[in-house]
Chain A
Amino acid sequence: MAELRCEQIFASYGHGDVLSGIDLVVPEGTLTAILGASGSGKTTLLRVIMGFIAQQHGTVMVGETLVARAGGAHFPPEKRSIGYVAQEGALYPHLSVAENVSFGLPRRERKTSARASEVLNLVGLGSRYAARRPHELSGGEQRRVALARALAPRPPLVVLDEPFSGLDAALRVETRAAVLHALHAQGTTAVLVTHDQAEALSIGHEVGLLMEGRLIQTAAPTVLYRTPASLDVARFVGEAVVLPGRADAGVVSCPLGELPLINRDIQGLVQTMVRPEQIQIRRPFAGESTHLARRAGVTARVGTLTFYGPDSVVQLELDGLPAPINARVLGYDVPEPGEHVELTVGGEVMAYLTAAKGSLTGHRVGLPQTHRLPR
């Protein structure tokens, strides 16, 4: 139950910065997911917060306490009161579940297992688990015990390192629900690190996107997904269809037609970013000739098709486009490969100024004011 505030964190292992100027605020009682590819520096950030490594520059504050300032105070991990859930749980193999959970409690409380069974219940494991050994637990149960152990001393802040990695889909959903419930019940502030986009978007009150040691964008999941700060961000948080276009007066004209813009101020040659699920397909009525359909608006020929059950990804070949684009359509009405279909786009789209290749800054123009920008 404390705010986490990181300011201007720089960290390196001697060869170039792994973290370059991280500013992160996690409001009291909320969960922020840090999303990043492997090597983006997310584990380093987490280890700086925990105090396992010292940053070269910047400060870390938990609530009102300054726990680390580069060149100044550096609280060792045990003095920070930050709960830690390691990858795969890291349960102590020489201790039972109850002993694991009560590990961080004062000796007096360790004897009476009241708190241990309380937190075990909190994570959805009954006290019948108390006497078991870690190797007798499933992967999901191990993660829950690890969280219970971290929560037992009632830390104001908990840090979770890829807590659901290696679990299968169903177990992932179940474990995630149990973890969220427990964190919410304790009112604990939490930072979770993951490389899984869907996980970050579905679990965090806010999601911070970390790329090459920089927090590129920190925002609510819907904001991050709908209005990514750059094309790179757009592509990282989900699938993106990117088309050339020209923006003017809040509208972009591109191969998918005239589309309304979210960032209305943008002008000139742009890259248009459309999410595949925004592209809607209309199949021609029986008897309606292809010729007619073609006249009606934007048409495309259906290429390959990948069926997932609830939905499908349809590859569409458009005249004048060098490569096919993907659309995500609902699974109950999928077109046939080779069929000609009519396309419309739902909702508004984002556009980014066309700039020199590889330059991140070029895409950033015309952002809505809600974004926190990196330095």
Chain B
Amino acid sequence: MKRARGARLPQGLLLVSAAIAVLVGLPVVITVVQAFQGGALAAKAAITASATPTLFLHTVELAALVTPACGALGLGTAWVVERTSVPGRRVWPLLLVAPLVVPLFVTSYAWATLSSSLTGFWGAAGIVTFSYYPIVFLLVAASLRVIDPALEETARSLGLGPWRTFGRVVLPQLRPALLGGMLLVLLDTLVEFDAFVALKFQTLSVNVYSQYQLGFSPAGAAALSLFSTLTCVVVLFGEYRLRRGVNYTRISHGARRGVVRYRLGRAMPLALAALGLLVTVSLGIPLGLLVHWFAQGTRTAGAPAGADGVWPATLTTVLLGAASAVVAVLLALPVAILAVRRSGWLATAIERSVYLSFALPDLVAAIALAYGATHVVHFLYGTVVLLVLAEAMLFVPFAVVALRGTIGLIEPSLEDSGRALGLGPLRTLCRVTVPLARPGLAAAGVLVFAFVLGDLSTAQVLLPPGLNTLGTQFWADSGTVAFAAAAPYAAVLIVLALLATYVLMSRFGRVRGLSER
């Protein structure tokens, strides 16, 4: 039933969300200022440099290949896991999502080590595809779980076979999740850097990074990254046009029963082989590299060198990840509630603007924040607070997406009852919405935590002197080809990431007390 939405929500939520959107957009503003501070000429010089069109083309080609590939892989795997009788339905989601949280620079080194032929375009496309398809998988699988099975059953009763039912009923229902996932993949690919650290493949962000390393003017780097800002805005607008009228209202709750899964029959070995191959490529390669390094390490020296640095780096990384996760979830919660409970251009604009986090390569955003801090809030510069804030702002779109799925499942009437029982909006949030959404909050937090583990650029710029994360240590050691020394850091990172996956998969897109299956 259509609900009149809008009037019931307090203006406070709108204001808080708007403030968060502005905060996330802040690095973009600072970058624009930076770009033109060196004078229009310097900016022009950076933009019109001979390599720029090629780099831009590289970036766009990569995104054009990776986005549909992730869409297809995510959709296919989600359908097989959620809708067929494939064995191991509890294990596959874990294995399929794990590649997302394995740090991309580890994967990058793994691919580069595997074969030198993988250091070009195809390697880049492969790494990004096999690391990002889980985003689509997560969203589509969560969406598949809440589609009323009666929609499909009715289609079958009207004479449609399984394939046509999928095309005419299931796919349209999955469109918001599929498009949303592909949008995240697309935006992330446009500014991806970590994945290409070990490759010879040049994109805009890689170039921005080398400009920064070579001590080139920050204005030039900023000017270059305006390309990605522009692309991001265009993509966001395009996606908005594409999904207009797509947010389907769920009109019936139907019977809450499990879906009937398709029997795979003779296709079973094929499905298992496909899933196995996918997991081998996406998870097996980085894990294989790790084993290889350890083997190398024990052959050359007794114990891997520099292992004593592991413990402090682990502590720093975990604390940093946890703090960033909490901040990101706090930032994401008002925006997600606004997006689910309120329609209209303002709510949409605010929700979309957190995606501006993808408008800049991570490195440029970090530099912008450092620049802003030195000029305006000097006491923040060089502190962990700034780093935590930067990480949280970087990954807040993922937290919003994770929360939106869960909050969308909470009946508005539950919140209405809270209000009717005399609770104010804020207390309703604390006593009704948040407790119900706890799995989603945990999922969002864990997702951010895992991304912070795998982050390299931001930590490199903003990490206070004397501190090291697992990522920066790995980077330092692998940069000097001390692979055996780097291995323990990568191992801890991957173990933490796999633990995070387990927590994530038991909570993503769920509501407390609303059991499925």
Contacts and interface: CB of A to CB of B under 8 A. Distances in A.
Interface stretch (A22-30, A77-85, A231-239): A77-85
B517 interface: no
B251 A87 contact: no
B154 A90 contact: yes
B153 A52 contact: yes
Which of B155, B172, B173, B175 has the largest count of A CB atoms less than 10 A from its CB?
B155
Given A52-B260, A78-B159, A149 B154 contact: yes
A99 B276 CA distance: 40
A34 to B, nearest CB: 16
A136 interface: yes
A21 interface: no
A89 interface: yes
Interface residues of B, number: 30
B251 A91 contact: yes
B157 interface: yes
A91 B250 CA distance: 10
A88 B252 contact: yes
Given A92-B169, A93-B248, A136-B2, A87 B255 contact: yes
Given A50-B153, A86-B150, A135-B1, A91 B158 contact: no
A43 B156 contact: no
A129 interface: no
Contacts of B246: 94
Nearest to B246: A94
Q: How large is the interface on A (under 10, 10 to 19, 20 to 34, 35 or more residues)?
A: 35 or more
Given A94-B173, A104-B159, A88 B253 contact: yes
B249 interface: yes
Given A52-B260, A78-B160, A93 B251 contact: yes
Contacts of A90: 148, 150-151, 153-154, 252, 254
A139 B1 CA distance: 8
A134 interface: yes
Contacts of B88: none
A135 to B, nearest CB: 4
A153 B159 contact: yes
Contacts of A43: 255
B466 interface: no
B251 A135 contact: yes
A89 B252 contact: yes
A142 interface: yes
Contact of B251 (A50, A51, A142): A142
B422 interface: no
A87 B159 contact: no
B144 to A, nearest CB: 15
A83 B155 CA distance: 10
Interface in A120-140: 134-136, 139
A92 B153 CA distance: 12
Interface in A45-64: 50-53
Contacts of A84: 153-154, 157-158
B513 interface: no
A78 B161 contact: yes
Given A93-B248, A94-B173, A135-B1, A77 B156 contact: yes
Nearest to B249: A135
A86 B151 CA distance: 8
A189 to B, nearest CB: 15
A4 interface: no
A83 B168 CA distance: 18
A99 to B, nearest CB: 10
B150 A104 contact: no
Main secondary structure of the interface of B (DSSP, over half): loop
A271 to B, nearest CB: 37
Interface in A84-116: 84, 86-94, 103-104
A368 interface: no
A250 interface: no
A149 B250 CA distance: 19
A150 interface: yes
Contacts of B255: 43, 87
Contacts of B1: 135, 139
B456 to A, nearest CB: 42
A198 B175 CA distance: 42
A86 B158 contact: no
B71 to A, nearest CB: 18
A77 B156 CA distance: 5
Interface string B167-202: 011001101000000000000000000000000000
A76 interface: yes
Contacts of B150: 86-88, 90
Contacts of B249: 93, 135
A94 to B, nearest CB: 4
B254 A88 contact: yes
A43 B154 CA distance: 15
A135 B154 contact: no
Interface in A133-186: 134-136, 139, 142, 146, 149-150, 153, 159
Nearest to A136: B2
Contact of B160 (A80, A87, A104): A104
A10 B253 CA distance: 29
B492 to A, nearest CB: 44
A142 B251 CA distance: 9
B146 to A, nearest CB: 12
A77 B173 contact: no
Interface string B376-401: 00000000000000000000000000
A94 B159 CA distance: 19
Contacts of A77: 153, 156-157
Contacts of B172: 92, 94
Contacts of B250: 93
Contacts of A86: 150, 153-154, 252, 254
- Residue among B151, B156, B253 with most chain A CB within 10 A: B156
B158 A87 contact: no
Nearest to A86: B150
Nearest to A138: B1
Interface in B224-244: none
A82 B157 contact: yes
Contacts of B2: 135-136
Interface string B252-286: 11110000100000000000000000000000000
Given A77-B153, A86-B150, A91 B161 contact: no
A84 B168 CA distance: 17
Contacts of A139: 1
A150 B148 contact: no
Nearest to A146: B154
A251 to B, nearest CB: 49
A43 B249 CA distance: 26
Contact of B156 (A53, A78, A87, A159): A78
Contacts of A53: 260
A78 B254 contact: no
A59 B246 CA distance: 43
A52 B151 CA distance: 13
A91 B150 CA distance: 9
Nearest to B160: A78
A7 B148 CA distance: 30
Given A90-B148, A135-B1, A136-B2, A76 B252 contact: no
A349 to B, nearest CB: 39
A3 B154 CA distance: 21
Contacts of B253: 88
8 contacts: A43-B255, A50-B153, A51-B156, A82-B157, A84-B154, A86-B252, A93-B249, A139-B1
Given A78-B159, A87-B150, A135-B251, 10 more contacts: A52-B156, A76-B162, A83-B157, A86-B153, A94-B175, A103-B168, A104-B159, A135-B2, A149-B154, A149-B158
| Nearest 5 pairs of A and B residues by beta carbon | A104-B158, A84-B157, A88-B252, A90-B150, A86-B150
